[in-house]
Chains A and B, each alone.
Chain A
Amino acid sequence: MKITYPHMGNLYIVIRALLTSLGLDLVLPPPTSNRTVELGVRYAPEFACFPLKLNLGNFLEARELGADTILMAGGVGPCRFGYYAQVQREILRDLGVSMEMVVLEPPDTHWSELKDKIRWLVGDRSWWEIIKAIRFAWYKARAVDLVEARVLYLRPRVFEPFELESGYREALRKIDQAASKRELDSVVKGFFRFSNRLPRRSGSLLRVGLVGEIFTVLEPFANYDLERRLGLLGVEVTRSIFLSAWINEHLFGGLLRVKGTKHVKKLAAPYLNFFVGGHGRETVGSTVDFARQGYDGVVHVAPFTCMPEIVAHSVLPSVTKDYGIPTLTFYLDEQSGEAGIQTRLEAFVDLISARRERVRKEKH
Chain B
Amino acid sequence: MDLFLGIDVGSVSTNLVLLDPAGEPYLTPLYLRTQGRPIAVLQQGLALLREQLSSRDRVCAVGTTGSARFLAGVLVGADIVKNEITAHAVAALHLVPDVRTIFEIGGQDSKIIILRDGIVVDFAMNTVCAAGTGSFLDQQAFRLNLSIEEFGALAKDATNPVRIAGRCTVFAESDMIHKQQMGHPLPDIIAGLCEALVRNYLNNVGKGKEILPPVVFQGGVAANLGMRAAFEKVLKTEIIVPPYFNVMGAYGAALLARDYAKEGGQTSFRGFQVATLQFQPRSFECKGCSNACEVIEIREGKRVLARWGDRCGRWGSSVTGAEEVNEEAKSIS
Contacts and interface: CB of A to CB of B under 8 A. Distances in A.
21 contacts: A30-B290, A31-B290, A33-B290, A33-B292, A162-B314, A162-B317, A165-B312, A165-B313, A225-B311, A326-B121, A326-B122, A335-B128, A343-B67, A343-B83, A343-B125, A346-B86, A347-B85, A347-B120, A351-B120, A351-B123, A358-B119
A339 interface: yes
Contacts, number: 61
Contact of B123 (A33, A162, A340, A347): A347
A228 B312 CA distance: 9
Interface in B270-289: none
Contacts of A343: 67, 83-85, 125
A323 B128 CA distance: 31
B84 A31 contact: no
A19 B141 CA distance: 64
A358 B118 CA distance: 10
A310 to B, nearest CB: 12
A31 B291 contact: yes
Contact-size category for B: 20 to 34
A314 B313 CA distance: 36
A162 B83 contact: no
B321 interface: no
B243 interface: no
Contacts of B117: 358
Q: Of residues A160, A346, A351, which shows the largest number of chain B Cβ atoms within 10 Å of its Cβ?
A: A351
Nearest to B11: A339
Given A165-B312, A344-B125, A355-B121, A33 B83 contact: no
Interface string A352-363: 001100100000
Contacts of B291: 31, 33
B128 A347 contact: no
Interface string A155-185: 0000011100110000000000000000000
Contact-size category for A: 20 to 34
**10 shortest interchain CB distances as A-B pairs:** A347-B85, A162-B313, A346-B83, A31-B290, A350-B86, A354-B119, A343-B83, A162-B317, A347-B83, A351-B120
Given A33-B291, A162-B312, A347 B86 contact: yes
Interface of A: 30-31, 33-34, 160-162, 165-166, 225, 228, 314, 317, 326, 335, 339-340, 342-344, 346-347, 350-351, 354-355, 358
Interface string B65-86: 0010000000000000011111
Contacts of B314: 162
A165 B310 CA distance: 13
Nearest to A346: B83
Given A33-B290, A344-B85, A339 B67 contact: yes
Nearest to B70: A342
Contacts of B83: 342-344, 346-347, 350
A343 B311 CA distance: 16
Interface in B83-124: 83-86, 117, 119-123
Nearest to B294: A34
A340 B119 CA distance: 22
Contacts of B123: 344, 347, 351
B264 interface: no
Nearest to A324: B121
